[in-house]
Amino acid sequence: MNLLTIDPSAIDWARAQFALTAIYHWLFVPLTLGVGLIMSIMETKYYRTGDAFWRRAAQFWQRLFGINFAMGVATGIILEFEFGTNWSNYSWFVGDIFGAPLAIEGIVAFFMESTFVAVMYFGWEKVSRGFHLASTWLTWLGATISAWWILVANAWMQCPVGCTFNPDTMRNEMTSFFDVALSPFAIGKFCHTVTSSWIVGAAFCVAVCCWYLLKKRETKLALESLRIGAAVGLFAAVLAAATGHKSAQDVASQQPMKLAAMEALYDGGTGQGLKVIEGIEVPYALSFMATNDFNGYVPGINDLLKGYTREDGTVEPSAQEKMMRGRQAIESLAAYRQAKAAGADQATLAPLLASLQENMPYFGYGYIKDEAELVPPIAVNFWAFRVMVGVGCLLILFFAVVLSATCQWPKKWWQKCDITALPSWLYWLAVALVPLTYVASESGWLVAELGRQPWTIQDMLPVGASISNIGSSAVATTFWLFLILFTILLTVEINIMIKQIKKGPQL
């Protein structure tokens, strides 16, 4: 096989495989972060009251946490394997930057989690209540810090900062660790992703409690946990909406094509409305979401392809111009490396290097054959965004109602209502919201990752240049292997989880 001939279907299989493994990994992570928070709150109540009920309640939720943690652990490592095999050009090109947060995640966060999770499970009678409580919170914190570093890596893919390209090593090298670790894009993404995970944990907690109320068992645990779950869920859902607004502004600023695809906005303008569905829109809402100004300018897909003048007078080049400059960068890189290998002097190399550096911001565009490739899949982005936001709004209402009911506030609304004796369909509705919450959570990732297509690194490297020159059959084989393995893992987890929920907290 000619090493330089890419099997086109290998690109699709590699993307599908990465998407499959990421989607499965993301089934476990939000539950860890969300239930981790809830179990920590429960144990804090035990610490403060000394009431054995709260100890048993905390131990029950820690058991469910442990099941999910055990199932989910190491499922993310497979993604790193895929980088080295399927995405080797990407790995080499950006590994110095991308690898650092992943390494820190593994060394710091995972060790923190695994150290304190042992104290959490084994230390109930061996360490003081205060140290045990701290270990529970630190287990959750370790998982959250893990999420931070992974999201720093992902945020860097969406908005590459703090780096410079070295044409001798063919690698992007980190110039500022803190620019990467604390980029505004990373902070926004972290806050939105983690709060959305708390929603998943809260929805799961509420669902388990409603199932107990339906079965008329563990009533005290159900009511107390319901109150905490609903409070966490409402707090998280409101925060997720606020952080989502910030994320939308980051996307508008750094990935305007993603925003245009999310909105199926072909021709932009000022005072843009936010589409609910085609034909129904909230006036001025898109402009406000993107720019914090109801009359702010939001470019559409056609504006981004043709080029436009921003409100501040600066010009966004057209796609064709970017593609031309990208090709110039690729040619300058090739000429520079060839000249250097031939022993050329600085006087020869300097202008080539200058041309490369001048056009480097458009390097990735040099691989684009047709400007239509720059448009992400519109339908998937459009509907995934609406599913995420729609379910998010529904959950704000849901958690507010549940919290109001469990707190019996306002009293006049609930005085004739016995929350332990509602129609069964209401309890089943709460259970049904768990898969819907997961769908919303995964939809958010679809928007984030499909919306950045065709880029693996925004503007720097498209998918076609990132992939290894491998046959599609190998990738397809491992795709099906993963599908089978992860489905088995998920089935086992659901089985064990249901058994333990049915067993109950042994109060």
Partner 1 sequence: MYENSYIFAADMNKKDSFWHRAFHLYYDGFRQMTLGRTLWLIIAIKLFIIFFVLKLFFFPDFIGQNAESGKEADFVATELQQRAPSP
Which residue type, as a one-letter code, is found at position 199? I
Decide: is 343 part of the binding site for partner 1 (CB under 8 A). no
Which range of residues in 193-201, 235-243, 325-333, 392-400 is near partner 1 by CB under 8 A?
A: 325-333
Residue from 334, 350, 432, 507 touching partner 1 (CB under 8 A): that is: 334
Decide: is 50 part of the binding site for partner 1 (CB under 8 A). no
Least distance between partner 1 and beta carbon 88 (Å): 4
Instruction: State the number of binding residues for partner 1 (CB under 8 A).
Output: 59
Decide: is 477 part of the binding site for partner 1 (CB under 8 A). yes
Crossing angle for the helix pair 378-407 and 424-450, to the nearest 10 degrees: 140
Residue from 470, 476, 483, 490 touching partner 1 (CB under 8 A): that is: 470
Residues 180-239 that bind partner 1 (CB under 8 A): none
Decide: is 99 part of the binding site for partner 1 (CB under 8 A). no
| DSSP codes of every residue in 124-166 | TTTS-HHHHHHHHHHHHHHHHHHHHHHHHHHHHHHS--SEEEE
Q: How far is CA 283 from CA 112, 273, 274, in A?
A: 48, 4, 6
Decide: is 419 part of the binding site for partner 1 (CB under 8 A). no
Q: How far is CA 323 from CA 90, 319, 343, 390, 417, in A?
A: 20, 6, 30, 37, 65
What is the pattern of x (binds partner 1, CB under 8 A) and - over residues 346-385? --------------------xxxx----------------
Decide: is 74 part of the binding site for partner 1 (CB under 8 A). yes
Largest interatomic CA distance in the chain: 89
Q: How far is CA 124 from CA 59, 137, 251, in A?
A: 10, 14, 46
Decide: is 472 part of the binding site for partner 1 (CB under 8 A). no
C-beta separation of 7 from 470 below 8 A:
yes
Decide: is 464 part of the binding site for partner 1 (CB under 8 A). yes
Which range of residues in 26-34, 117-125, 314-322, 437-445 is near partner 1 by CB under 8 A?
A: 117-125
Determine the Cα–Cα distance for residues 391 and 346; give it in Å rounded to an integer: 60
Angle (nearest 5°) at CA 141 between 499 and 21:
60
Decide: is 6 part of the binding site for partner 1 (CB under 8 A). yes
Q: Is 9 helix (H, G, I), strand (E, B) or coil?
A: helix
Q: Give the tokens for residue 237.
A: 């859902």
For partner 1, the binding residues (CB under 8 A) are: 3-4, 6, 59, 63, 66-67, 70-71, 73-74, 77-78, 81-82, 84-86, 88-89, 91-93, 118-119, 121-127, 168-171, 327, 330, 333-334, 337, 366-369, 464-465, 468-470, 474, 477-478, 481, 485, 489, 492, 496, 500
